[in-house]
Amino acid sequence: MQKMIKPKRFCGREFTVEELSLIQEVVGTCGGISRSELAHTVCELLDWKRAGGGLKFRECRDLLELMEAKGTLSLPEKRRTGHNVPQKRIAKVPCKEPYSSLAGSVESFTPLEVQRVQSREQRDLFMDLVSRYHYLGYAMPFGARIQYLVYVNRPRREVVGCQQFSSPAWRMKARDQWIGWSDSQREAGLQQVVNNSRFLVLAPIRNLASTILSCTLRQLKSDWPRQYGIEPLLVETLVDRQRFHGGCYRAANWIELGQTTGRGRMDKTNKRHGAAVKTILVYPLVKNATRRLNNER
């Protein structure tokens, strides 16, 4: 027997009991279709869309799986096809040596070429590099995402960096206080914040990291509105303070705001408080970013 359901807030939307009951009904009656098809169906029924008009498919799939975990519905088995990839991918033996042997000062290799990940070949390369060389591995981003491969073209063409931007953290005390958000203001303005959720530097070139940051942020300012219909005003990132100092962000004029509680995005019961404390840094993409995030012109 499925559990009773109560109103639920998820990814900035308040779902009523009636909407959650409709989701249960759709999942219960639409036999034979995949989880992805269910997520698209639910999005269309509830008109759950981004500002640019696209369906919030990934968020909806996450909601369905959360409801299944809580026992309020039962989803079909995940299909095993050649088009599916694991939600999280980490190399069995992570590479400790740099991917590239290029060295020296970044001025010897500029201009960098920033290439947005769009083709299957680019996605496979991005996932392979991040899974092997990033300490967190590769995980399907939560919500919206744009990914970049960064190349040098001399003395040979070679990938030297990977960047991923995705949906922001729903709530972070230090960030929200710095912006001056109330709950309602955060709800209205959050989609104009973007999270730098993966950053991988593949060559021991001096000042390469801060240069990659500058180049990818310039491109993000035009790519994000083109993809999602929303102008990004602020970029945030979380740096594991036990592993990194975050010097490249500071060198690129990012602002340190404080620390997280260490819980993580999906810790709803506060069981992980203090387990993974990270430093919060932000970068305003426009002048008066905080005023605009508060809807003040």
pLDDT tens string for the chain (297 positions)? 555 677 788 877 889 888 898 888 888 877 667 888 888 888 888 888 887 778 888 889 888 988 888 888 888 887 654 444 445 555 544 555 667 889 999 999 999 999 999 998 999 999 999 998 998 888 877 668 899 999 999 999 999 999 999 988 888 999 999 999 998 888 888 889 999 999 999 999 999 999 999 999 999 999 999 888 889 999 999 999 788 878 899 999 999 999 988 655 444 444 444 457 899 999 999 999 999 999 875
Q: Is the pTM of this model over 0.85?
A: no
Contact of 208 with 151, CB cutoff 8 Å: no
Beta bridge partners of 251: none
Determine the CATH number of domain 88-293: 3.40.630.30
DSSP assignment of 46-102, as one string? HT-B-TTS-B-HHHHHHHHHHHHHTTS--PPPPP--TT---SEE--SS---S-S---
pLDDT score, position 36 = 85
What pLDDT is stored for residue 49 in this prediction? 85
Cα separation, 223 vs 115, whole angstroms: 11
Q: Give the span between the Cα atoms of 212 and 196, in whole angstroms.
A: 12
pLDDT of residue 281: 95
pLDDT given for residue 54 in this prediction: 81
- Whether the CB-CB separation of 192 and 284 falls below 8 Å is answered with no
